[in-house]
Amino acid sequence: MRKTSGTAVRISGLGVVRGSGRRRVEVIRGLDVVVPSGEVVGLLGPSGSGKTTLMRAVVGVQDNVTGLVEVLGRPAGHPSLRRRVGYVTQAPSVYADISVVENLRYFARLLGASEDDVVRSLADVDLTPLADRRVGVLSGGERSRVSLALALLASPELLVLDEPTVGLDPVLRRDLWALFRRLADRGTSLLVSSHVMDEALRCDRLLLMRDGHLLADGTLAELLARTGTADIEAAFLALVEDEHPPVGDDPHDEETGR
């Protein structure tokens, strides 16, 4: 049973264009989706499927967006959302030349968060022992946790996380997913992208993306039942083949196969 406490993100008819003139590419076209609040929603799809662009549109930093993107009842990018939405980019966006805690304190001041929030965020990502370390000397995984800690400072209602577990060891990955679960239990809505299909198991709901559009939207059980498959990888393949039959003389094949 799905908790029906409300809607975190409502998207209808989303289109995103990148580049201009002859290099103009429609990265996303005609996408409709509703992300319920208080759940961990996984955004799965291969690299290049438009996951990051979709997340950027939700956060309100993506230009050339058409259609409706409503976040927590406001248009995406609305100034009042800047405290209520936390965003973690795929590459850790942190200052490498200052310490972990200096990074946190700076963003805490911008967000109006307190020193308690700094301590809590550090503990949430398990970085308390490294607080005074300069970010530049940390490993990639540690840096991405600093990046995540910055997004937790203001206890946002919606967290948008772009591949937060890439390159982490399995123990840390498990811990982070446990953290995401705790946050959702506290009422936070999470939109988490991944290209690792097995992370689907940890999500309440899945959005499968490919080529700038949504292949499917539902719980893992629903997707497996719909496709008659045993795991998410097979379900994904089945959904793709549903759209583009692998053999046949469809004249569009050549075009879409590029």
Closest CA to 181 of 39, 34, 6: 39
Nearer Cβ to another protein, position 9 or 65? 65
Nearer Cβ to another protein, position 99 or 227? 99
Out of 134, 195, 213, 244, which residue is the one contacting another protein (CB under 8 A)? 134
As given in the structure block, the two tokens for residue 180 are: 């995401």
Nearer Cβ to another protein, position 107 or 236? 107
- The Cα 157–Cα 94 span in angstroms is 22
Compute the least distance from the CB of residue 207 to another protein, in Å: 21
Out of 110, 196, 225, 237, which residue is the one contacting another protein (CB under 8 A)? 110
As given in the structure block, the two tokens for residue 114 are: 């307190």
Compute the least distance from the CB of residue 97 to another protein, in Å: 5
DSSP letters, 201-238, are: GG-SEEEEEETTEEEEEE-HHHHHHHHT-SSHHHHHHH
Compute the least distance from the CB of residue 136 to another protein, in Å: 9
How many residues of this chain bind another protein (CB under 8 A)?
33
Measured between its terminal Cα atoms, the distance across the chain in Å is: 40
Determine, following the binding rule CB under 8 A, whether residue 150 of this chain makes contact with another protein.
yes
* Footprint on residues 36-95 left by another protein (CB under 8 A): 59-65, 77, 79, 82-83, 85, 87, 89, 91-95
Nearer Cβ to another protein, position 4 or 20? 20
Q: Where are the alpha helices (DSSP H) in 63-169?
A: 100-111, 115-124, 140-152
As given in the structure block, the two tokens for residue 192 are: 């988490």
Please list, residue by residue across 222-232, b when 16 or more beta carbons sit within 10 angstroms of its beta carbon and e when fewer do: ebbeebebeeb
Out of 14, 33, 72, 111, which residue is the one contacting another protein (CB under 8 A)? 111
Q: Pattern of binders to another protein over 179-218, x per CB under 8 A?
A: ----------------------------------------
Classify 147 as helix, strand or coil.
helix
Residue pair 36/5 in contact (Cβ under 8 Å)? The answer is: yes
Nearer Cβ to another protein, position 102 or 217? 102
Q: Which residues contact another protein (rule: CB under 8 A)? A: 18-19, 59-65, 77, 79, 82-83, 85, 87, 89, 91-98, 102, 106-107, 109-112, 134, 150
